[in-house]
Structure 1
Amino acid sequence: MRSLNIVTITDEEGAQMHTLEAIMAATIMVVIILFAVQATSLTPLTSSTANAHIESQMYIIGQDMLTSLDHSSNGQNSDLKDEIINWNGEMYVWNGTNYQSDDNKNNSLDGPVVDLLKLILVDYGIAHNIEFTYSSISESGNYTKYNEKLENYYIYNGDPSDNAVIVSRKVLLSESDVGSSYKTATGIPDVDGSTTALYNIIDVKLTLWRM
């Protein structure tokens, strides 16, 4: 009788396979974004129709970038969420080679988010700002009320032009995601106190425009 060889996949091997799938998916998305950028002429034109087409293409590029950066698998944080969690509250400006802190010239950004910004936007001359918008709270007497949303620049490269486009993506932060010093460093508060595991919801706003 012919014997059957049963191959079992351990948890570690399964995790490696999922990680490889996530890397491949992210790589494919980046390739698609690069193809879209290279296939689109982003030169300034006087025609309003042509400008509208350029703005539409930049909007799609921005959406694809945020979607790619917010991709996660196996319960891991996305690159975009990690960027928010690891933020020290400083504003960064492109200095020609790196994103440098406006307050401390010795601090600069690195990592997957920066790599994608350089590859898709910087290399093609697309100016950009990134803002983190979040809810604030104020206590009065025995109740807490929500204030209007506040905005902090994460990356600032100047005032956008009239033909700028804005894309955004919401990222949920839990109390377990941040440390005790996070509010002090960033100004982002725990809007739900100890009632639930929710900490805050960050609206990441990416603004793109041609110089």
Structure 2
Amino acid sequence: MVSERGQVHTLEAIVAGLLLMSSIVFALQMTAVTPLSASTSSQHIENQQEASAAGVLATAARNDSLRETVLYWNSTESRFHGATVNGFYTRKLPTELGRRLQQTFGDRGIAYNVYVTYYKSGRPQRKPILYRGEPTDNAVSAGKTVVIANETRLLHENMTRGPRVNNSNFYADKNGEGPVFDVVRVEVVVWRI
């Protein structure tokens, strides 16, 4: 009787060990660590990308190239100068902001889109200025506002001053009374390729 109990306990221990080992193997197969898995290092990279985008926008706001980009509008064709028939750029942005974004992100395997948010008929609208594709889940963004006054002029293709902004020749509408035509927000969305 004692020998039968010992065999049963031994068999029980072996089965329990196999069960434990197979559950560990199963759990390890279910979780895979990939280069795109969330980690502190990837979070750090995303924080750096967000700070870089914010820095480019702050510099562009200081040297007025952010306003230049917003006003680089072809009122005759209702799109940005030289943009595709969809109304936005797909390769590069031909303003100083575009050159700075290319210097910062262009050769580093980082893609970016540039959007402008404005009001049309009292409702917020978001228009791409530069669109390079759908951002991934690890995309980050930074934004900066630009105040457009009533006397602000659109820019011709050669960057000379054109007509004053108004509801019929610009993508945004005048909001209310007063000296401000509209307040728009330029947003840069950045992600690793």
Aligned-partner Cα distance in 1 for 2:52–2:135:
17
Aligned-partner Cα distance in 1 for 2:106–2:170:
26
Aligned-partner Cα distance in 2 for 1:172–1:82:
12
Corresponding pairs, count: 144
Name the counterpart of 1:40: none
Q: TM-score, normalised by structure 1?
A: 0.60
Aligned-partner Cα distance in 2 for 1:62–1:187:
24
The AA in structure 2 aligned to 1:189 is D
Name the counterpart of 1:84: 70
Aligned-partner Cα distance in 2 for 1:149–1:50:
36
Name the counterpart of 1:173: 148
Distance 1:186 1:121, change over 3 A: farther
| Among candidates 91, 104, 107, match of residue 123 of structure 1 | 107
Aligned-partner Cα distance in 2 for 1:162–1:109:
24
The runs of 5 or more residues in structure 2 that have no matched partner are 1-34, 154-162
| Among candidates 196, 200, 205, match of residue 178 of structure 2 | 196
| Among candidates 95, 104, 125, match of residue 150 of structure 1 | 125
Superposition pairs of residues 65-80 of structure 1, within 5 angstroms: 65-72=56-63, 78-80=64-66
Distance 1:48 1:91, change over 3 A: farther
1:70 and 1:81 in contact (8 A); partners too: yes
Name the counterpart of 1:63: 54
Name the counterpart of 1:4: none
Aligned-partner Cα distance in 1 for 2:51–2:140:
10
Q: Using the TM superposition, give the Cα deviation of residue 49 of structure 1 relative to its aligned residue in structure 2, in angstroms.
A: 1.4
SS of 1:154's equivalent in the other structure is: strand
Distance 1:182 1:82, change over 3 A: farther
The AA in structure 1 aligned to 2:119 is S
1:168 and 1:204 in contact (8 A); partners too: yes
Q: Using the TM superposition, give the Cα deviation of residue 70 of structure 1 relative to its aligned residue in structure 2, in angstroms.
A: 0.4
Identity %: 23
1:136 and 1:189 in contact (8 A); partners too: yes
SS of 2:117's equivalent in the other structure is: strand
For the aligned residue pairs, the C-alpha RMSD in angstroms reads 2.6
Q: Using the TM superposition, give the Cα deviation of residue 170 of structure 1 relative to its aligned residue in structure 2, in angstroms.
A: 0.6
Name the counterpart of 1:113: 97
Q: Using the TM superposition, give the Cα deviation of residue 51 of structure 1 relative to its aligned residue in structure 2, in angstroms.
A: 1.2
Deviations 1:172-197 (A, max 9, x none): 000111335654454211112xx311
Name the counterpart of 1:22: none
| Among candidates 43, 53, 66, match of residue 52 of structure 1 | 43
- Structure whose CA Rg is larger: 2
2:73 and 2:80 in contact (8 A); partners too: no
Distance 1:196 1:126, change over 3 A: same
1:91 and 1:103 in contact (8 A); partners too: no
- Say which structure, 1 or 2, has more relative contact order (CA 8 Å, 6+ apart): 2
SS of 2:129's equivalent in the other structure is: strand
